[in-house]
Structure 1
Amino acid sequence: MFISKARFGKQRGFTMIEVLVALIILAIGLLGVAGVQGLSLKQTTNTATRSMVTMHAYQLSEMMRAESGSFASFAKNKSADCSGCSTVLTNWHDDVVRDVPTAQTEVSVTTNPNETEADITIYWTERDLGNDAVAQSYTLRTRLR
């Protein structure tokens, strides 16, 4: 029996196994890209929250400077509400909670004969690398006078 040499000549195209291996490698790469994209979105949200917290703390420090005679009225213990606070502090606290729903605020004012300082602390939770809520805090120490 005579077998033609042309039949076993140079092979053209891809085999099914080669195509499947290429698809598996591509799928693994796309899953990695999707995971990095999800992590990036989570960290972007955390960064936006931290920026809002910082902005609110500086906003209160400027409001306290504007009310130069009554710094003690801004003192507040750590809590998620602002019952018994001044109107200015209540409005500020409500703005913080509107922007950062898990926020708790605390303001301590220390007055000495020569200076007055305030510690403005905002506590909140954010998502970590997993889906766990992680407690965070930001404290702004400012000299009012």
Structure 2
Amino acid sequence: MPRPAAIWSGVVLAAACAATALAAEPMHGPGGPPPPGGPKSERPEPPSNEQRAAKLKAMLQLSPSQGAAADAFVVATAPPDPEDLPKPDREKLEAMSTPERLDQMDAMHKEAEQHMAKVEAATRAFYSSLTPSQKAAFDALPPQTMMGFAGGPPPMGPRERP
């Protein structure tokens, strides 16, 4: 016959587990849980090339004669339009053999390398047009800021979750 202390220990343990599970469960309002990844309206609109150019010109205090170089840099490093990015075709990927998938990955890497080569060339050309003090200011920008001018990671397409 089980002892009363053992029974009460089991009851307390079960209650603690239930309380932990309830605390971990998110509470949602009358609309139910939010959609996975949040609503699309929460994603901020990326700045336009004109806004990016104006920010760059203000940050570096560019002269009017440097405006064309800055505009060319901004256009060359503009982030791709999300609609233009390749969309993964899950059915096609699943139908491929491993060597075919590896070939596709190689092609995507080569495309990314070409994109980064263009970003690098545009950055070097723009950098050469800067004065020494502007170069120092440009060099002091954090990498996250520069990724904004470079358009973020190479255009490899958005990842879809199963």
Greater relative contact order: 1 or 2 (C-alpha under 8 angstroms, separation 6 or more)?
2
Q: Give the TM bin, normalised by the shorter chain.
A: 0.3 to 0.5
Kindly indicate which of the two structures has a greater share of residues assigned to helix: 2
Kindly indicate which of the two structures has a greater share of residues assigned to strand: 1
TM-score by length of 2: 0.30
